[in-house]
Amino acid sequence: MNDGSNDFELLGSPWICENPHANWTAPAAHGMFKRFKKKEIIIHSGDQIDYIYYLHKGRIKTVAQSPSGSQKILWYIEAGSIFGETPFFNRKPCDYNFFAVTDCEIYIYPMEVIMQEIIPKFPDLTLSIIKTLSRKVHILSTQVEDCVFNKPLVRVAKLIYLLHQGRILEDKRGSSSIPLTQEDIANTLGMHRVTVNQALKHLKEIQALKEHTHLIIIHDPEKLKEVMEA
């Protein structure tokens, strides 16, 4: 996994990656350890959060939902990252749902541990909290900018290109695959699935992507970049 200094994160990919310099298992004796099953809700919208969570294994997605039921994926969280820090410090009920995309193993640190142990005694973890908050502000501001200034095709190409840059998965034919469905892309970008389908169709026509039912398979990342920068 690439670190936070690369173009993948600087350009606003909605993928929260691990911080290799922050050892959140060091204060494990002061916290709780829990396992969550795939699709289980870890934090519900409206919960009062008195903990900071460290994702030891697995993947999580953070989802905003409107009163009518429409959903918007804000970001994905990879193993090695923390979450829950925004409502923890804001002292207001959480605005989002946190879903386990895979089976997850999580360390949970209560408020007294954060305030009396981690912040005074673990400066690397305090810095990790600040960096995570800054990263999420950057993601949200970039998403607003994209919604205002970029056309749907550009936004879809940009999302796929950034995820390709940050988490390349090689298939047997040497192409890079992204484990996202059209629904995932639509929910992440706040688009209708028909709009996403049209964008993907165009990207396949120019041979930036390959045909596949369940994966986004990248054939030519440079063509994606050309569309993104058009």
How many Cβ atoms from other residues are within 10 Å of residue 81's Cβ? Answer: 24
Q: Are both 7-147 and 150-229 of the same fold? A: no
Q: Where are the domains of the chain?
A: 7-147, 150-229
Is the pLDDT reported for residue 3 higher than 60?
no
pLDDT tens for residues 10-28?
445 677 776 667 899 999 9
CATH of domain 7-147: 2.60.120.10
Enter the pTM of the model. 0.79
The fold adopted by the segment(s) 150-229 is Arc Repressor Mutant, subunit A (1.10.10)
CB 80 within 8 A of CB 20: yes
pLDDT tens column, 54-92: 999 999 999 998 888 888 888 889 899 999 999 999 999
